[in-house]
């Protein structure tokens, strides 16, 4: 398993570059100038060269702990995902539970990021993310349990094996769309970017500059990579596929989910947190429970 564990940083960095490049590709479709594949690297270098902004009496420990925790959660979440059939860097019998814990702890990491500057807008972004996080994490739990039912196991290796004949996206068509809502929230994108919204001057990132902002953006992109790999594993068969080796199939499916997530983040209309809470509690949560009930009925 050691080579696969060593491959995790490479996978996260490659996914972060792809996510940043997709972030710049979607606006090109609207007529903006293209930056090319090295645009993300230039932007990252520019951030590292800028001076670090500081506020009055910031919490210096949580200022670096928050993005570090965010990045570590992405790495842990990716570590339980099978890179090839029957082979994961950390083969856990409760891989779905591990991923669920990473989702829940993301709320804490984002809150700490908003708390640390000791400034009003970042703190508002932190509280807004906490408010939206709970109604999003509950549907995620129902959807992932439903994906595990055909395998009769919480191991992601077994979830992949159960999709050799039929992928879960066909067996449970509501699962992937509901899970994409979770991905937009985990990665602070599109209509769920309430933590770092432009309406509150950048929210938790409003007082960040230089290396601190670069680290936070990197953490967001690595979480996008981990989420996309998880979605590809739970609903698209992960490394299963003809002709190509397992890691290649997982990379292609992960890139496809990443492209859809980035596209949704750039195109879906954004609303206020109070207006978003109603459809989440009244719409997405009951729908995810119905999805779980139907998946259980089919499994029985």
Residue pLDDT, tens place only, 191-222 = 777 777 766 766 677 667 666 677 888 888 88
Greater model confidence, 3 or 69: 69
Helix (H) or strand (E) holding 106: helix 95-115
User: pLDDT category, 35, cuts 50, 70, 90?
Assistant: low
| Number of domains the chain is built from | 1
CA distance 184 to 19: 13
**Segment 271-287, tens digit of pLDDT:** 777 777 788 888 888 88
Q: What is the DSSP string of 259-297?
A: HHHHHHHHHSPP--HHHHHHHIIIIIHHHHHHHHHHHHH
CA atoms within 13 A on the CB side of 135: 19
Lowest mean pLDDT, pick from 140-154, 212-226, 245-259: 212-226
| Contact indicator for 189, 265 with CB cutoff of 8 Å | yes
Identify the pLDDT of residue 55: 61
Whether pLDDT at 108 is above 80: yes
Name the average pLDDT for the chain: 80
Domain of residue 198: give its range: 2-299
């Amino acid at each position: 398993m050691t080579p696969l564990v060593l491959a995790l940083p490479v996978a996260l960095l490659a996914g972060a570059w792809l996510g940043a490049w997709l972030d710049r590709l979607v606006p090109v479709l609207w007529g903006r100038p293209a930056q090319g594949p090295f645009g993300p690297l230039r932007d990252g270098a520019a951030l590292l060269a800028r001076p670090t902004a500081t506020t009055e009496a910031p919490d210096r420990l949580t200022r670096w702990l928050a993005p570090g925790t965010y990045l570590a959660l992405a790495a842990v979440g990716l570590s339980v995902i099978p890179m090839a059939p029957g082979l994961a860097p950390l083969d856990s019998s409760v891989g779905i539970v591990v991923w669920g814990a990473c989702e829940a702890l993301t709320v804490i990491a984002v809150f700490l990021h908003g708390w640390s500057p000791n400034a009003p807008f970042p703190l508002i972004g932190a509280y807004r993310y906490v408010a939206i996080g709970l109604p999003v994490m509950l549907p995620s739990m129902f959807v992932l349990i439903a994906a595990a039912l055909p395998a009769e196991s919480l191991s992601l290796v077994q979830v992949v094996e159960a999709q050799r004949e039929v992928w879960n996206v066909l067996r449970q068509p509501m699962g992937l769309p509901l899970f994409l809502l979770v991905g937009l929230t985990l990665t602070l994108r599109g209509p769920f970017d309430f933590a770092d919204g432009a309406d509150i001057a950048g929210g938790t990132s409003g007082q960040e500059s230089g290396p601190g902002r670069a680290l936070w953006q990197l953490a967001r992109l690595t979480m996008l990579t981990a989420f996309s790999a998880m979605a590809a594993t739970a609903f698209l068969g992960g490394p299963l596929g003809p002709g190509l080796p397992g890691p290649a199939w997982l990379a292609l499916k992960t890139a496809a989910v990443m492209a859809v997530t980035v596209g949704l983040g750039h195109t879906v209309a954004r609303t206020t947190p109070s207006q978003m809470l109603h459809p989440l509690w009244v719409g997405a949560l009951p729908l995810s429970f119905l999805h779980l009930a139907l998946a259980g009925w089919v499994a029985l």
